[in-house]
A and B are shown apart, each in its own frame.
Chain A
Amino acid sequence: MTISIDPQKTNNESLQPKGWLRYFSFSLDHKVIGIQYLVCGFLFYLIGGTLASAIRIELASPMSDFMPRDVYNQVLTLHGTIMIFLWIVPVVNGAFGNYLIPFYVGARDMAFPRLNAVAFWLIPPSGLMLVASYFVEGAAQAGWTAYPPLSITTPQSGQIIWIMSVLLLGGSSIFGGINFIATIIKLRRPGLKLMQLPMYCWAMLGTSILVVLSTPVLAGTLILLSFDIIANTGFFNPVLGGNVVVYQHLFWFYSHPAVYIMVLPAFGLVSEILPVHARKPLFGYTTMVFSIMGIVVLGLVVWAHHMFTSGTPPWMRLFFTIATAFIAVPTGIKFFNWVATLWGGKISINSAMLFSCGFIINFVFGGITGVALAQVPFDIHVHDTYFVVAHFHYIVYGGTVFIIFSSIYHWFPKVTGKMLNEKLGILHFIITFIGFNLCFAPQHWLGLNGMPRRVAEYDPQFQFVNQISSLGALLMAISTIPFLINIFLSMRNGQVSGDNPWKALTPEWLTSSPPPVENWEGEAPLVEEPYGYGKQFSEQK
């Protein structure tokens, strides 16, 4: 049996609004949904960034009275939740995945277009619900991890809204994951082998496997937690005989893979961007594929390294230390392959390339501190200090968000048919890079010297370093301005890019920019080698 996936039949062009209004409609076009994910995620990034600035203002002086203590906890919780569940996960999976994967597998849409629309439209309402919970009496204030018993004993209305919102976002994530797996495995054109797919497809396949296997566990855990709050059961409440460590196990069974759900797609995207701007084939394609799958397998069995201080028995600590340290092997393979891709290439210094190189630098730093944190004695020393905060932000901001910006610079001509202004882009990169490192590098020092995280007041000896950090945060906030100006100016009157401004070989560039509704006029081009840059060179000579 066959199903028609002709988008013109499912999408009915004549009924759809034209121009930018269609981004506000229930469109089934994967490109429209991708942009919807991106813009929606970016709006939440601005909200989460504002909250982060508020935190840094509070921390600029040791005894600041910028906000009351419970508001500080609420801001902290909202910042973490928004940045993870509403900015990074939806954008790096949903936005770029939706936009690129159908091109890469040679299809006219995702495997299940309606499911795709459902997955996106779960996000704005649940995100608004989460933000609105701040104005309810007592917003969630137990951190983005919502550890019981704190999440049970603090004011409950906000925490329940928080749980419902995260459940909906998890559902959105699972629907997206099912769609990506089906698209990549089943919707490939005949003759396109798995080992010919661009790296981003592999990254999304690995990510989607992680999403499908681990997100439901978080959903189940949060359902139990909501029972604890609403129905006064005792799953995680020690007073009623429950066990908080069970919550931590179940929570981290999702939330450790969540780190890979955030960073694996970024690995895929950087593997697409580097070869184009270095004019070289991706080094070690096969090892890249196997390292992604290695990360997926190892990522599922290392969650307890978040719990070394939770009374974990020594044999468990040993296992999780070794397994965690092993993840450095596939990650290291990827890092060396990226460097080898750059090595001897004809590198063009533009914003996309700069952000990708910034990603590599930041990610190495974050990865090395990660290996350090996997070692039990060191982890016990710096657990719940700013060292962990710095490590985490080096992975998630210095890694993933840099790649999100890099991808925006890389694919903007594809989406709009206009080039972004390179000068503003480079300015954006310089401010972001300096601001980011100024903000988070000193936090390693803070953590090693014992400043705990999630505090509003601290010892005066940390004041100077905290002020440097806050200055960096200010720069990061400022860096959004040239970016936004760039986007608006370039969309309005940017230089026309042509179909393939980077002379890239991956399939999305072989159609017009912006692409037509069905991705290709006529037949889709078949790309045998998405990274055949070297060959093209030798033939031109």
Chain B
Amino acid sequence: MMHVRRSPEEIAANRARYEEHQKKGLEFAPKALPGPSPLPAPVIEAAAIIHQEIVPGGWYWSSKLLRGEAIRIDQGEGNSTVALVAWNAEDTSERINLVDTAKVQWTTALGKGRVIFSDMGRVMFSMIEDSSGAHDCLMGGSTAASNAAKYPGEKTRNTRDNLILAAVKLGLDKRDIPGILNLFAPVRLAEAGGFAWQGKRTNSGDYVELRAEMDMLVAFSNCPHPLDPDPTYQPKRVVITRYKAAIPAADDLCRTATAEAVRGFENNALMQA
């Protein structure tokens, strides 16, 4: 097959542009980020609370979440991993996209100050608070088969089935379930590519707060992570609070921390004009 290659000059110019983006992405953003939020979690003003749901261990929950609202996920009793997916309420073909989220922010490590992207180059969530700093956007959740292998003979619920239930009750189906974000899952990747669980979590009471940057449908599953070292199936309840968030300031951390976040919010503004 005949093929005309690009000129060395064109390649060199594109490479120089990439390396500039890469340098900024890898070196600038981590310096701007503040590290984990302090514990214990501050009290949310009662007047701001729209709804509070206690999701028992092993169960799921979904909600509408409007732009400007936020959601706090509080693991309270510790040892809970919460899987999260989300769809644009106006067009559910737009949904959380974790491969883009990691790629465009140059990191799989999500924490306070990071944002979570949709597949359309727009910001769905700002991670406005996060005491944990240990979340997993790679490995996905448990399934009936993975639970059967890990907890033989036990009756358990799993993330895959939970999210199918949540999606179907929202009028969606299993085709609509995107890759999931595991909150409170300290998974790290070795140089060779193998996954490991980084010891036992000690911070009972860890919490994450996500501010909605568009109107969304969100679904949560509260089941143990596939790598959770606890051999017993005993997921703890989590408390999820939907509340009216403060209006972001001009220098809002999540909106200004990186060039990528700034451009993502510019894409949001085009949709929301």
- B and A form one assembly: no
